[in-house]
Amino acid sequence: MDRGFSGTTRRNRAGLDQALAAVWDGTVFTVTRFDRFARNMAEANDIPTGLSGRGVPFGLGASDYDWNDPFGRLFFQPLVMVAEFEANIGHQRTREGTALARKNGKLQGKQPKLPEPARRSIPRRYTEGEVSLVGLATEYGVGRSTIHRIIHRAPENPR
């Protein structure tokens, strides 16, 4: 199972690759939901072709599809088209929702880790030698890289 990965291609789907490698002639490669198997038409055709070459039928739910049988392909391919269509509709709705949220000012990107007064005082305190970079990171409970970015983005900082 590929946890924490969502995408439109098979790239970086080690769980699927492991499952495909674990089947042998005489077994059936079965998935419970189509979206767990393929993300688009090309993948949905390539994977059963590879399985069929190894003598492994493909199963979706309670149905098996023989990729070498014209009827198997006939029943399988419309499922692929519907699954890809549903995925594309979901992506379109997500893009529309994101655009609407951005337009209404509700999606502004990642918020700063520190409040504005702290971001103003950090470069001054560091430049004046009041406290070290590590000391600031410890004081504010953030990483040194966060403090470093704040210091080097400040326009009034001569460094």
Q: What is the pLDDT of residues 94-131, one digit of tens each?
A: 999 999 998 998 887 788 889 999 999 999 999 999 89
Q: Is the pLDDT of residue 76 over 50?
A: yes
Q: Is the pLDDT of residue 80 over 50?
A: yes
Q: Is the pLDDT of residue 157 over 50?
A: no
Looking at residue 67, its pLDDT comes to 79
Q: How many of the other CB atoms lie within 10 Å of CB of 150?
A: 23
Q: How many of the other CB atoms lie within 10 Å of CB of 105?
A: 7
How would residue 91 be classed by pLDDT, with cut points 50, 70 and 90? very high
User: How many angstroms separate the CA atoms of 6 and 13, rounded?
Assistant: 9
